[in-house]
Amino acid sequence: RSGSKKLMQSLSAEQKKDVKLIGQFGVGFYSAFMVADEVVVTSLSGAPGSEAVVWRSSGDGNFTIVPGQRAKRGTTIELHLKGEAKEFLERWRLEGLVKRYSNYVTHPIKLALVDEQGERKDEPKQVNAAAAIWARSPSELSDDEYGEFYKHVMGGFVMPGDEPFARIHFSADAPIQFHALLYVPGRAPADLFQEDRKALQLFARRVLVIENCDTLLPQYLRFVRGVVDSEDLPLNVSREMLQENKSLAAIRRQLTRKVLKQLADLAEQDADKYAKLWAEFGSVIKEGLHLDQGHRDELTKLLRWRSAGQADTLLGLTQYVASMPEGQSVIYY
């Protein structure tokens, strides 16, 4: 049973616009018993005249509710960890989990250590960013901020001189609402031809749901790194559900179109930079000619070759044809 879902059902369409809730599937809380052999929840409603209550369960299908002591409204959840789950008492373990899955949720998540008597040993420290760079307007962001996030999506470290060839930052409202911040890396990732390679990160309402989602872009654009965050995807989405999800298909179409246009613009505006990009990813882009008939024309314009007449220059087919001498009717290759 999901209390969040019941609340959403009771709201009008106008009220729902301003409400963002997670936990609408009635399964999240029970994951506490994967690491705890007892959970105690002490809660006090904000309604006038309310009294605090304590809910206690060992996860065996039974629970007790008794009056509790709490001075101000809110909720405290206590996990009595199993022996094999004591790693979750370590600060580094908790910080790592928060930053991996909930770094960008809008609510601040603070961490404080307490002693055996429950007294705090230090002041609460916020461990999540609580703000998503991709949800901000590009006009608000500096190159340094984009550069720092590039390091993040590349695994936290990039080689000196590894500046992205291009970045794509945009938001879409129709037919599906989502934000995307993508990068074309300055160097080919080491795992480019491996089956378990990295891919785009998929978020649903700023919560990470799939770390490497290889269905957001076609295979011949697998060198692109970044994040996609949608308001319209459910938090419990799985890889199997993604295969049938119409919203994801709409996102994929828009992302593919945006990336191909960005590559075409770069090729037209900065031939030298595009030549370096082609040296890193040309063999991968060419796969698209065999895999994606729908974008064949756009891909053909991105292809580059060397010519016997201009050995030091990479040429596109259009450039080559334009420079052919009068009377030449074929291309030898």
- The pLDDT tens digits along the chain (333 residues) read 567 777 777 887 777 766 666 555 555 788 899 999 999 999 999 999 999 999 999 988 899 999 999 989 999 999 999 999 999 989 999 999 888 888 888 889 999 988 878 788 888 999 988 888 999 899 999 999 999 899 888 877 777 778 999 999 999 987 788 999 999 999 988 888 888 888 899 988 888 888 888 889 999 999 999 999 988 776 666 655 655 667 788 899 999 999 999 999 999 999 999 999 999 999 999 999 999 999 999 999 999 998 887 777 889 998 889 888 899 999 888
pLDDT recorded at residue 239: 57
Burial of 277 (0-12, 13-18, 19+ CB in 10 A): buried
Tokens 């934000």 belong to: 179
**Can you give the pLDDT at residue 217?**
94
Burial level of 220, CB count in 10 A (0-12/13-18/19+)?
Answer: buried
Per-residue pLDDT at 221: 95
d(CA 47, CA 204): 31
Q: How far apart are CA 326 and CA 314, in angstroms?
A: 22
- Long-range contacts from 148-157, C-beta under 8 angstroms, 24+ separation: 149/181, 150/183, 153/183, 153/201, 153/225, 153/226, 153/227, 154/183, 154/185, 154/189, 154/225, 155/198
Predicted local distance difference test score (pLDDT) of residue 17: 66
**Token couple for 145:** 């901020």
At 86 the pLDDT is 92
Distance CA 1, CA 123 (A): 36
pLDDT of residue 175: 77
90 DSSP β-pair partners:
none
What local confidence, expressed as pLDDT, does residue 20 receive?
64
234 upstream amide cis, omega within 30 of 0: no
DSSP 329: -
Distance (Å) of CA 177 to CA 16, 24, 231, 302: 16, 19, 6, 29
pLDDT of residue 282: 94
Q: How many helices (H) and strands (E) does the chain have?
A: 10, 13
Give the pLDDT of residue 6.
Answer: 77
Q: Using CB atoms within 10 Å of the CB of residue 207, give its burial: 0 to 12 exposed, 13 to 18 middle, 19+ buried.
A: middle
Q: Which pLDDT score is estimated for 236? A: 63
Residue-level pLDDT at 13: 74
Distance CA 98, CA 203 (A): 14
pLDDT at residue 23, rounded to an integer: 58
What are the residues whose beta carbons fall under 8 Å from the beta carbon of 111, sequence distance 6 or more? 91, 94, 95, 98, 124, 125, 127
